[in-house]
Structure 1
Amino acid sequence: MALLLFGKDPNTNGDDCPTVWVDSTSADLVLQGWKADEATEAECLAVGHIPGDEAVVRIPARMVPLIRKACDEAEQRAELR
C-alpha cells in the first residue's frame, strides 16, 4: 500500500493537522481530522451505532478543494481496477 498525499490543512502548522490521502492500491480515501466533540458524536449516534473500529472526525471546509482532487484521483484509480 502506498498513500498518495493530497494535502494538509493550509491554516495549521503543517505538523499535527487534518490531512487527505488516497490509497494507491484500493483507491480508498484516507482522512486525518480532529476528533469530533461529544455533541457532534451524539448527533451522529442518533443515526446509528459507531463501531469500535470507526471514528467520527471533523475536516475543515477549507479542505474541500483537496478532498475534491483526492476524490477525482480515487475515482480514476477505481475505474482502472
Structure 2
Amino acid sequence: MALTFIAKDPNTDGANCPTVWVDQDAGEFVIQGWKVDEATTAECLTAGPIPASETVLRLPVRMAAALREAIDVAEGTDVR
C-alpha cells in the first residue's frame, strides 16, 4: 500500500493533527481526525449502527480544500 499524502490541518502545530491521504490502489481515502464524544456518537447511531470495523471522527471545515484535492487525486484529475 502506498498512500499519497494530501495535507495536514493548516492550523496544526505539526503533530497530532487531522491529516488526509489517498490510497489509490484500494480506491479509498485515509483520514486522521479527532475522536468524537459520546453525544456525537449517540446522534450518529440514530442513522444506524457503527460496525466494529468503522469509526466516526471529526475533521475541521478548514480542511475542505484537502478533501477536494483528495477527491481529484482519487479520480485521477489531479496528476502528481
Please report the TM-score for the alignment, with normalisation by the length of structure 1: 0.89
> Distance in 2 between the 1:27 and 1:20 partners?
14
Higher helix residue share: 1
Matched length: 77
Shift in Å at residue 53 of structure 1? 1.1
> Distance in 1 between the 2:12 and 2:39 partners?
24
In structure 2, the partner of 1:32 is 32
Please report the TM-score for the alignment, with normalisation by the length of structure 2: 0.90
Deviations 1:33-78 (A, max 9, x none): 001111111110001000111100000000000110001111128x
Identity in percent? 56
Shift in Å at residue 24 of structure 1? 2.5
In structure 1, the partner of 2:16 is 16
Superposed structure 1 runs of 4+ greater than 4 Å apart = none
SS of 1:11's equivalent in the other structure is coil
Shift in Å at residue 8 of structure 1? 0.4
Task: Tell me if 1:55 matches 2:42.
Answer: no
> Distance in 1 between the 2:11 and 2:27 partners?
27
Q: Is there any run of 5+ residues in structure 1 with no aligned partner, and where? A: none
Q: Is there any run of 5+ residues in structure 2 with no aligned partner, and where? A: none
